Structure formats: C-alpha cells, structure tokens
Structure 1
C-alpha cells in the first residue's frame, strides 16, 4: 500500500512538473532591465542633430532613455538655477554655461562644437545684400533676432549690428523671438524680411536662403559647451552621454548638420 502511494505521488509530481514546463513559455522569460531616463537641456539649434544622435546612442546603450528639453540657452540656464530636473546642459553660448559653473551647478563642462552666424531671407526674396548696413533700407520693414538676454544667437546678432553701427537705427524694425528656431519660422513664413540664425539652422530649411555670412570677428566666438548638472541623480548615465557627444560617431552627425568641431 505504501509503495502504491509513493508511486501515485511520484506520478502526480511528474505531471505537475511537466505542466510547469509547458506553461513556462507563457511567462516573461526575464524581466527587461529598467531603463534610466536622462533629461538633456539643449539649445534649440541642436534639435535636428541631437534627434539623430539619440537613435545611435540608445542603440548602443539600451538601458538609457534620452529625453530632450529644447529651448533658448538662457531659459534653460534659469530652469537649472531654479532647480528644474536636468542631467546634462548643452548650451549654444559660453555665458550661460559659465554662469552655472560659477554657481557650482555644473560638475563638468567642455566645449563640444562651434557654429557660424548668418543672415537669412525668405527663399523667394528678390533682395540681395552685401552688408548688414543695408537693413537700414526703407524696403526692409521687419528683422527677427532672438532675445539678446536669453538667446545666444540674438546676443551675437546684437553684437554684429553694434559693431556695424546700425543697432540703434534698426530698433523699430526688430522682432524678438524666444529662440533661434522661432526666428527661422518668422523668416520661413514671410512674417519678417530677414533674420539672424546659425548656419546650421539655415541649412535645415528650404524655405530660407543665406543672404550674408557674418564674419566671426564682429561678435563673440560661437561655442557650444556641454556639462553635467551637479544635482543629477544619474551622473553615471549622464557622463556616458557626455562622453558620447565627443565621439567620432557623434562628431560625424554634427558635421553633417553644418557644425564645426573646436
């Protein structure tokens, strides 16, 4: 009797084991490793290149999910100063990065890129320019630039117009934008006659054309520094992206969009 019960129990256990094995494929094999989200505060002019770099980076780092907060460098600077979440800051101006470094809010920073300032007009514009002084002409009604206080491209544009001694004369024509991409939109839609953007922005649109390339000597050098936010809770992952931004893979993408390397 005892032997019969043992055999019966063994058969039941074997059946249960077989059912467990058959059911196993219906269960997730191994829980996917949780992704770490990295929030990157980046200048609006970097949007196209970073969106492409994001795909390459995440393919190589499947455990990291990049999220971008695009805007003017000055606005992003203020957000970080006020404690808004951010893991890495990629600025279009040295002034904004230096301010955060001075306050001890950035733990590591380095210049990643250079850019050029250009004056653009709608692609169907018949007007040609040889100098920004020609913006004084009565036929030019509106000129878009970024807010000089918060948009580096606006700061460079202001410096250019001051150097060329036309800043004061053009005050009534100036239309201020929240970031360089808004300047681009104003020119694309014909809401202004001309605007100042980076060369990289101009190259993204078929609705505008470059009227004048601004020589570097009339404004502050255009540099793009990146740095890790000191209060980042994911400094290891943020550093991985910071390092990747300096890689050959990232550099090839940046050059493709018209940026220059330091």
Structure 2
C-alpha cells in the first residue's frame, strides 16, 4: 500500500429476516460514550460463525466501494449472510437518506463530523460506534501531466486549476481546511485548518478564485484530473487504487486538516442489530478481510 501521508437509493428497505438458531456475537467495548472498540483479546483472525437467512443493508462512504464489495463477498462465502445493494454515497448524503426515512443496518462514513450528526439525529446507535479506518489526503494529477511533485502552497498559488469535493464530500471538507491554512479558502466563521469544518466558505478573494471545480463525489474529483479538466485534484490516497489514471504528486500535511477517520456504527432502526455488529467485528479482525482493506489503501484506526 502507499505510504504517502497519506441509492441510487435502493427504494426498498433493507430486508430484515428472522435469524434461525443462534450465532456468536462479537461484543463491542462500551468504555467510551462516543466510540465502542471491538472487544479486547480477540484473535487477529476471527472465523465467522455461520449465519442463516440474514441480509444486511449497508450505507457507506463512496471511497469504500471496491474494498467493501470484496469484503462483503468474503463474508457471504464464510457465513451465508448476504447483502442488499450497498449504497455508496457522499457521507452527508447518507445521513440525508437516513433522515428521509431510508433504512439500513450499518452506516460507515468518511468523517467524524458526519457520524456525529448521525448520532445526534438518532440514525445510529452511539454505543456501537467505533473508528474503523484512517486515510490520507493527497494531491493528484493525470498520469500524462508534466507535474511530478508539488506542495500544498504551490497547488494553492493560483497557477493551477484544481478540483475538490463539495460540502457533502468529506474529502472536499478536508481539502478546504488544508487550503485555508495557506490563504486559498476562507471559512465564513474565520476559522482555519483543523479548527474549521471545511463547509460554507468561499474561494472568492483568494488566489484560487475562479479556478476551482467542486465535485459531488471523490470519483468526480478524480475524473476531472484524469481528463485534464483541472491540473490538480485533492482526494484520498485510497482513491488512487480505486480509479487509476491519476498519480500522486503531493501529500497534504496531516496537521493542515482534521484527522481523516472512517467511523462505523449499527443503525438505530435495524432489525438485524446482532448480525450487523457481528459483521463489523469480523471486518476488522479477519485476516483475509484485513488484507483486502490494505490492498485498497485503508489502514485500521
């Protein structure tokens, strides 16, 4: 993996089925009101107990799509548990879907802020929340670009057209936080860097005025760099694995934005709470599942 500093609304509700027999539940620690970590003392590799007649619906951040698809397939092979059409959207959109009445068993977002909102709105069970992965924010260019190495300051100088995610895309929030530290984005509340939420500000009056394209997903942002519509794009390091045709030309300093963390939690409206928790516990402990996450550029938190 890189060492850089690095639903379609499914109209149908998640299929809830009666579980036949009993199965092992891998408990979560409740040491913190905010985050519950997988139970201590678990073996690095955890063999999933067979489940019957359960189908799980997961709402997950866009950037998890390819890795999570593979992990779900592995879990189905091991347990028989199947998954409804997993919804991959910007984290803010996932909350909007849940707030609009959509049902799911698990939510995995790409920022603590969006999971905080999910907790506050009652979309997820706070006692099941834990930080699942970390990621890095990088600057990419198309593979044919003449740019091979660039700093945050240079990217924000106004000499380049750039792409970032819009306010519903956590990667875009992180990018705006970082750009604020070099005077290229202005928070409406006057905060800078990690103190900002990276939303609601402006590029007007900065060197990047008129030179920024905002995408509705990290996939869109990557594609703008790939096609040459922009010179540079701010995305996660894992996105380079997902989309290809872009190259990393710079890494955003870790202290320029909030820590990039993917929290997960069991949804409050689920009828499959035990099965949902069992999947989450397995996903961060099974040896083969861990290899998949790593191959797609994700590190366990």
TM-score, length of structure 2 as denominator length: 0.71
Q: Look up the match of 2:98.
A: 80
Q: Are 2:284 and 2:300, in contact at CA under 8 Å, matched by a contact in 1?
A: no
CA distance in 2, matches of 1:177, 1:193: 14
From the CA coordinates, give the structure whose radius of gyration is larger.
1
Cα distance, 1:183 vs structure 2: 0.8
Q: Look up the match of 1:253.
A: 292
Q: Look up the match of 1:144.
A: 163
Cα distance, 1:238 vs structure 2: 1.5
After the TM superposition, which residues 227-238 of structure 1 pair with which residues of structure 2 at under 5 Å, given as runs? Answer: 227-238=265-276
Cα distance, 1:96 vs structure 2: 0.5
Find the residue that maps to 1:67 and give its secondary structure.
coil
Task: Count the aligned residue pairs.
Answer: 228
Q: Look up the match of 1:45.
A: 63
Cα distance, 1:248 vs structure 2: 3.1
| 1:222 maps onto 2:260 in alignment | yes
After the TM superposition, which residues 86-105 of structure 1 pair with which residues of structure 2 at under 5 Å, given as runs? Answer: 86-105=104-123
CA distance in 2, matches of 1:183, 1:195: 6
TM-score, length of structure 1 as denominator length: 0.81
CA offsets 1:40-77 (integer angstroms, 9 cap, x no match):
10001001111110111101121433431001001101
Q: Are 2:108 and 2:265, in contact at CA under 8 Å, matched by a contact in 1?
A: yes
| 1:132 maps onto 2:181 in alignment | no
Q: CA RMSD in A?
A: 1.8
The structure-2 alpha-carbon separation of the partners of 1:138 and 1:100, relative to structure 1 and needing over 3 Å to count, comes to closer
Q: Are 2:157 and 2:207, in contact at CA under 8 Å, matched by a contact in 1?
A: no
The structure-2 alpha-carbon separation of the partners of 1:63 and 1:257, relative to structure 1 and needing over 3 Å to count, comes to closer
Quick check: which one's strand share is greater? 1
Cα distance, 1:185 vs structure 2: 1.6
CA offsets 1:173-229 (integer angstroms, 9 cap, x no match):
111111111111221222221101000001334411001011211000000011111
Greater CA drift, 215-224 or 168-177 = 168-177
| 1:114 maps onto 2:134 in alignment | yes
Segments of 5+ residues of structure 1 without an aligned counterpart are 1-32
Cα distance, 1:124 vs structure 2: 0.6
